[in-house]
Amino acid sequence: MDLRHHLRDVPDFPKPGILFKDITPLLANPAAMKESIRQLAALDFGKIDCIAAIESRGFLFGVPLAMHLGLGFVPIRKPGKLPWKTNRVEYVLEYGTDAVEIHQDAVHKGQRVLLVDDLLATGGTMGAACKLVESCGATVAGCAFVVELAFLPGRQKLAPHRVESLVCIR
């Protein structure tokens, strides 16, 4: 099954010039969702201790993947959402900055963490998520995406971390 048939292109969302890759048709199709989790689980990142994913669309794939693999799930969230002690990493957006947070005790030294998000664009969000995992002493096993916009330098930005995606858009 080619998962790209379950993505919808929405031009000029959320602003003019952006071609938004809408994953809601994929979410609405249980066979396609099952296949996306099967394909993510089949990627070989070696030994993985837990799955971490980025709010909010990353959760839609991260949680089922963790359950499928029999691993725990760690949420990475926007500032102010996590209730316990957090580490924070800021990253640069086109205009201004944003930040992501993780619970300090969510991952620890010696653990290999697989990071998951729906889509890789510039890599800014995932780059910050990798730094967060490392700020807790854990190791990034790799970064897995459902969709990769390969015409943007996201993959290069995440080097030397291993990057895999199910649908590559050139």
Active-site residues: which are they?
57, 94
Residue 81 is given by DSSP the state -
Main-chain dihedrals φ then ψ at residue 34, nearest 5 degrees: -60, -40
Give the tokens for residue 69. Answer: 């693999």
Is 121 among the residues that bind ligand AMP (CB under 6 A)?
A: yes
Q: How far is the CB of 85 from ligand AMP (least distance, A)?
A: 25
Which residues does residue 114 pair with via DSSP β-bridges, in sequence order?
A: 51, 142
Residue of 104, 122, 135, 139 interacting with ligand AMP (CB under 6 A):
122
Cβ proximity to ligand AMP, 12 vs 137, nearer residue: 12
Each residue 55-84 as x (binds ligand AMP by CB under 6 A) or -, in order, gives --x---------------------------
Each residue 29-58 as x (binds ligand AMP by CB under 6 A) or -, in order, gives -------------------------x--x-
Cβ proximity to ligand AMP, 102 vs 111, nearer residue: 102
Residue 137, phi-psi category: left (phi > 0), alpha (psi -120 to 50), beta (remainder): left
Task: Say how far apart CA 136 and CA 167 lie, in whole Å.
Answer: 31
Cβ proximity to ligand AMP, 6 vs 21, nearer residue: 21
Task: Say how far apart CA 25 and CA 5 lie, in whole Å.
Answer: 9
Main-chain dihedrals φ then ψ at residue 33, nearest 5 degrees: -65, -45
DSSP 97-159: EEEEEEETTSS-TT-EEEEEEEEESSSHHHHHHHHHHHHTT-EEEEEEEEEEETTSTHHHHHT
Residue of 3, 6, 7, 21 interacting with ligand AMP (CB under 6 A):
21
Each residue 133-162 as x (binds ligand AMP by CB under 6 A) or -, in order, gives ---------------------x--------
Is 124 among the residues that bind ligand AMP (CB under 6 A)?
A: yes
Q: Site residues (CB under 6 A) for ligand AMP?
A: 18-21, 54, 57, 117-126, 154
